[in-house]
Amino acid sequence: MSSFTIASIPREELLAPGHRMCQGCGAAIVMRHLLKALGKDVIIAHATGCVEVTTSLYPETAWRVPWIHVAFENAAAVASGIEAAVKAMKRKGLLSKEKRVKAVAIGGDGGTYDIGLQALSGMLERGHDVLYVLYDNEAYMNTGIQRSGGTPLYAWTTTTPVGKLWRGEWRRKKDIIGIVRAHGVSYAAAVNFAYITDFYAKVKKAAEIEGPAFIHAYSPCVPGWRHEPHLTVKIAKLAVQTGTWVNYEIERGTFRVTTPVPKRLPVEEYLRLQGRFAHLTKEEVDTVQRMVDEDVEYINRLAGTVVIGPVERKS
C-alpha cells in the first residue's frame, strides 16, 4: 500500500461550499475527496443526478474544475468525446503533448446501473482513457427515491413500498463491477469514504492508469435511506464491517481485497440504523444475512483466501 495518510490530503477545496446537497450527504463527501484526489487537470462530464442538480443551480456552480452537465444516459459518451478532443488538440499542437488532462465521467446509480449502462459499455469497449466514477446511493434520490438497479434487497423506496404484498425491493442489487470487469478493463475498484486513505489510493491509481477505469463509490443518502444525518460516516463504516460492502480492486485481472475484515459484525447492526429497513422481520433480516454470507463467500473465492471472516455475535 502507499504511505498516504489523512495528513496528506490536500487542503485546497475544489468543491465550493454553498451547494445544496442535503445535511450529512454522503455523495458530497465522495465528490469533495474525489476532486482532491484528482487535482485540477480534469474535465468532468456529469450525468443528471442528485449531485448534478444540487451543485449547478444557475447562475452558480460549486465546481472549481471544468465541468459539463450532460443528459442522464450519456456521461460516458461525452467523456469519451472529451478524451478524443484532448487527443486531437495535442495532435494539432493546441495543447502541449506532456500535459495530462484526465476526462472523468460521474454518474449516480440510476445514471450508471440503468440509464447510462449502454454508454458506459460503449466507452469501456472502445477503450477510452476515461475514469468513470459511480456514486451509489442505491435509488433515484433526486427525483424522490425511486428504486434503481442498485437498490438492495428489502429496501423501501417510493416505487417498492412496504405493505401486505410487497416488502420493499424484492430483487438483488446488480453486480456493477462484475459487468465492468466483463469488458476487460484495466482497473475497477469499490471505495468507501469511511476508509479514506484507501479511497485516495484507488482514485489516484485509477486516474493514472491508461485506458478506461471504473470507481464504484459508496454514498449514503439521508432522506432516501431514512437515517439520521450525523450517522453518515458511521453507516459507511458499518457497511464494511458487516461485509455488506467490500473494498476491493481488480487491477489488470488481479483481484485484491483492500480492507480485510477478519471478524464480521451481524448485518442487523447495519440495517437497524436505516429507516428504509425498519419494516424487516427477524426472518427477513436472516435472509439478508444469508445473502451477505453468499456474497462474502464469492469474494473469498475470488481472493483465493478468507479475507472477509465469519460473523461474530456479541453474546
Partner 1 sequence: MASLPGWRTLPPGAVILEPGSSVRYKTADWRTLRPVIDQEKCVRCRICWTYCPEPAILELEKPYTAKSGRTYRVTYEIDYDYCKGCGICAEECPVKAITMVEEVR
Whichever of 36 and 128 has its CB closer to partner 1, that residue is: 36
Question: CB under 8 Å to 61, separation ≥6 — which residues?
Answer: 16, 55, 67
User: Rule CB under 8 A: is residue 9 a binding residue for partner 1?
Assistant: yes
Site string for partner 1, 187-226 (x = CB under 8 A): ------x--x-------------------------x----
- Point out which span in 12-20, 100-108, 161-169, 245-253 binds partner 1 (CB under 8 A): 12-20
Beta-bridge partners for 187: 213, 251
Residue count of the chain, please give it.
Answer: 315
User: Rule CB under 8 A: is residue 147 a binding residue for partner 1?
Assistant: no
User: Rule CB under 8 A: is residue 25 a binding residue for partner 1?
Assistant: yes
Whichever of 62 and 201 has its CB closer to partner 1, that residue is: 62
Among 11, 97, 164, 314, indicate the residue that binds partner 1 (CB under 8 A).
11
Give the footprint of partner 1 on residues 65-94 (CB under 8 A): 65
Q: What nine digits make up the cell of 4?
A: 498516504
Assign 3-class secondary structure to the chain.
CCCCCHHHCCCCCCECCCCCCCCCCHHHHHHHHHHHHHCCCEEEEECCCHHHHHHCCCCCCCECCCEEECCCCCHHHHHHHHHHHHHHHHHCCCCCCCCCCEEEEEEEHHHHHHCCHHHHHHHHHHCCCEEEEEEECCCECCCCCECCCCCCCCCCECCECECCCCECCCCCCCCHHHHHHCCCCCEEEEECCCCHHHHHHHHHHHHHCCCCEEEEEECCCHHHHCCCHHHHHHHHHHHHHCCCCCCEEEECCEEEECCCECCECCCHHHHCCCHHHCCCCHHHHHHHHHHHHHHHHHHHHHHCCCCECCECCCC
Please state the closest distance from residue 114 (CB atom) to partner 1, in A.
Answer: 25
Please state the closest distance from residue 11 (CB atom) to partner 1, in A.
Answer: 6
**Binding-site residue total for partner 1 (CB under 8 A)?**
42
User: Rule CB under 8 A: is residue 61 a binding residue for partner 1?
Assistant: yes
Whichever of 70 and 115 has its CB closer to partner 1, that residue is: 70
- Point out which span in 25-33, 116-124, 137-145, 250-258 binds partner 1 (CB under 8 A): 25-33
User: Rule CB under 8 A: is residue 232 a binding residue for partner 1?
Assistant: yes
User: Rule CB under 8 A: is residue 3 a binding residue for partner 1?
Assistant: no
- Point out which span in 43-51, 72-80, 231-239, 279-287 binds partner 1 (CB under 8 A): 231-239
User: Rule CB under 8 A: is residue 55 a binding residue for partner 1?
Assistant: yes
Please state the closest distance from residue 225 (CB atom) to partner 1, in A.
Answer: 14
Please state the closest distance from residue 219 (CB atom) to partner 1, in A.
Answer: 11
Binding site residues, partner 1, CB under 8 A: 6-7, 9, 11, 13, 15-26, 28-29, 32-33, 55-65, 193, 196, 222, 228-234
